[in-house]
Every structure is written in structure tokens, then in C-alpha cells.
Amino acid sequence: MTDHATTSTSRTLPPPAPTLTERLRAIPHRVRVVIALAIVYLIWGSTFLANGVAVTSIPPFLMLAVRFLLAGSILYAIATWRARRRVTHRPPTWRQWRHAFVTGATLLVGGTGLVTAGQVHLGSGMAALLCSTVPLWLAVVARVRFGDRLRARSWVGLAVGLVGVGTLVDPSGGQLVPMLVVLLGALSWAVGSLRSRTADVHTAPLVASAMEMLGAGVGFLLVGLLLGEPARLDVAAIDRVSVVALAYLITAGSIVAFTAYRWLLNNVATVLVGSHGYVNPVVAVGLGWAFAGELVTSRTLLGGGIVLIAVVLMVTSRPEQPVPAQATSGGDVFAGERRWRIGTVHVDWRTLGGRSERPREGRRPAEVTPS
């Protein structure tokens, strides 16, 4: 009996099953890059359609209040749980909460809110094309506010983008006001992104992003109350499709794709990450045409194509500048203590997504520490 017990305990125990993190790290880097890019392209490209579906039976600002309060709460719980494992973790201060509320108001209420409000009377594909002008606005605001120097290709991109927007915006088409509202939302998103990128707030990035979502949720609720949306809300009339679209925006749009984008910022070349700026609108136009029956006119194709060429010129002319997440993503990738620093780098395109960047001679190297 004793010999049998001794023999049993002396047997080699099987190794523990690998954790989910270990399994993910075992996936080849290029495969992870392709998966993350596919998530960002498809999910963020589809958020315009989801926005349009959600506001069919839910007032836009109340819908966004629910989205950001729930998404922010989930992300804040996850982020604080991760941050507590660090010895240096400290809970956010009132100053950090105040900054999060102000940035959330500019970036999310002003950006996402105006884009969504415009979508009440505008197709998802057109909204996506107009919203893709964020890199153009970003360059203009950085030039005016911070005196950033623009390369010749950037100036060409701005000129081409202006022509594209002029082609898209048809004053006689009956949609001038919602188009201008979406463009104003793209401008507000660019301003909020620059404010977040330059702010000196020492908070863990995911915690800061979640705080901004919560601040935006409160802001959306206040705007909805001021506009009298509760009086127009008919709970019994909310259809199942709108609820599914809202749940999709909370989980996939604000958490899954946002997390994938942050991972890409930390693991691949900046220009490759910025490619979502001209891929997502194409996805949005295709989904709007296929599932919402949105009309794609020759004017839309021409103007949209010109705008996307301008975005390509802007992104590739400023490889050291990360492109912010799109306005319907619901997240601020520049939040927190670890942000992109301005510098000049050279991108080696011989590797897919591999960070093979080196400083150009005579220039200050870029500090790449987003999260």
C-alpha cells in the first residue's frame, strides 16, 4: 500500500495548461498583426452602419450616453484591475478626472456626438467619407495651434482633400446641414485628439481612456436632457435591431477594436496603423450599400476617392505622427501618461507591421511608448 502510494506521488505531473495570454503570444507576430488590422478595419468600418441603425429608434445623445457609460464602466473595471497589480498604482485624482471630463467633452461629445447626430439624416457611407478628413483637420490645427511645419506632400494632401470635400458636399442635395455637422464633428475630434496628446496627465492609458468615456457619457446625458430627448423616447418603440446595434457599439466598437488599435500602436509601424483612415471609409460605404440599401452615386465615388487620396498623402507624409482612432470608435488612443512623442523616423516596409524604424540622421529619435 505504501509502495503504491510512493510510486503514485513520484510520477511526473503533466505541465499546466497554457494561459490565454501565453496562447496569444505563441501566435506568429505577422498573424497577430493581420488579425488586429482586420478587427480595426471591419469593426470600426461597421460602426457607422451600427450608429445609423441605433438612432432609428433611440434618440442619438441618449443612445451615446448609454454606450459610453456602459463601455467606460467595463473598461475602467478592467483597467483598474490591471493597474492595481503595479506597485506604483495610485487612484485618479480630481485633477485627472476634471481633465478626463473636458477631453471627453471635446473629443467624444463634440466629435462622436456630432457625427452621430449628422447620421440621423445622412447615410453611413457618406458620414464615413466626411469623417475620414480627421487627418487633414489634425494637420491644420497642429499648424495653427502649435506651429507644426508641414511637408510639401502634406500641403498637396490638404489641397486635394479640400477639393474632395467640395465634391462630396452638394448644396442642392438637401443634406448640406448634416454634412456640415459631420465635418464639424471631425474637426472637434481632431482638436480633442491634439489636446489629449499634449496634456500632462500621469494616468495609466486604459484608465485615462475609460475615464474619458465616463465623462463623455455624463456629457451626452446632459446634452440629451437639454435637447428634450427623454420626452421623445418611446421605450416600447425601440426595436431589437437598434438594441443589437447599441450592444455592438459598446462591446466591439468601444472595447474590442479599441484594444486592438492600442496594441497595433505599440507593435507596428505608425503608417501601417494609420491605414485605417482610408480603409474604414471603404468598408463603411460597402456595408451601407449592401445592408442598408444606401445609394452610391458617381459623385460619392469621385469625391470619396479624392478625399481618400488626400488622407493617404497626409498619413504617409507624416509617418512620425500617429493617426487617432476614428470618431465613431469611442476611444482616445492618446490618453494617459505614455503618449507618442513627436520625432522623425524611417519606416522599413520590407516587413509587415514589424517595428523596423530607425531615426533619420541629424534628427531627434521618436519615443514610441503609447501603452
pLDDT in tens, 52-110: 999 999 999 999 999 999 999 999 998 888 777 765 667 888 888 888 888 888 889 99
CA-CA distance, 187 to 181, in Å (whole number)? 10
pLDDT for 272 equals 85
26 lies in some domain: no
Angle between helices 134-146 and 298-317 (to 10 degrees): 40
Which range of residues forms the domain containing residue 235?
31-82+95-150+170-297+317-340
Number of domains in the chain: 1
Q: Which helix (H) or strand (E) holds 357?
A: strand 357-359
Q: Among residues 221, 222, 225, 192, which one has the least CA distance to residue 209?
A: 192
Which residue shows C-alpha cell 485628439? 193
Question: Helix H segments across the chain?
Answer: 2-9, 20-26, 29-39, 45-54, 60-83, 94-104, 113-119, 124-131, 134-146, 152-168, 176-198, 205-226, 229-232, 240-248, 257-267, 270-273, 276-291, 298-317
277 lies in some domain: yes
pLDDT for 360 equals 38
Mean pLDDT of the chain: 82
Q: pLDDT tens for residues 155-208?
A: 999 999 999 999 998 877 778 999 999 999 999 988 888 777 666 566 777 888
302 lies in some domain: no
pLDDT for 364 equals 35
| pLDDT above 70 (res 121) | yes
CA-CA distance, 78 to 211, in Å (whole number)? 12
| pLDDT above 70 (res 325) | yes
39 lies in some domain: yes
367 lies in some domain: no
More confident position, 9 or 126? 126
| pLDDT above 50 (res 232) | yes
pLDDT for 347 equals 35
350 lies in some domain: no
> Over the range 336-360, which residues count as b (16 or more CB within 10 Å of their CB) and which as e?
bebbbeebebebeeeeebbbebeee
- Tell me the pLDDT band of 336, cut-offs 50, 70 and 90: low
More confident position, 371 or 303? 303
| pLDDT above 80 (res 333) | no
8 lies in some domain: no
361 lies in some domain: no
- Sequence-distant (6+) residues with CB within 8 A of 217 are 64, 65, 66, 67, 68, 69, 70, 72
Q: Are 175 and 127 in contact (CB under 8 A)?
A: no
- Tell me the pLDDT band of 267, cut-offs 50, 70 and 90: confident
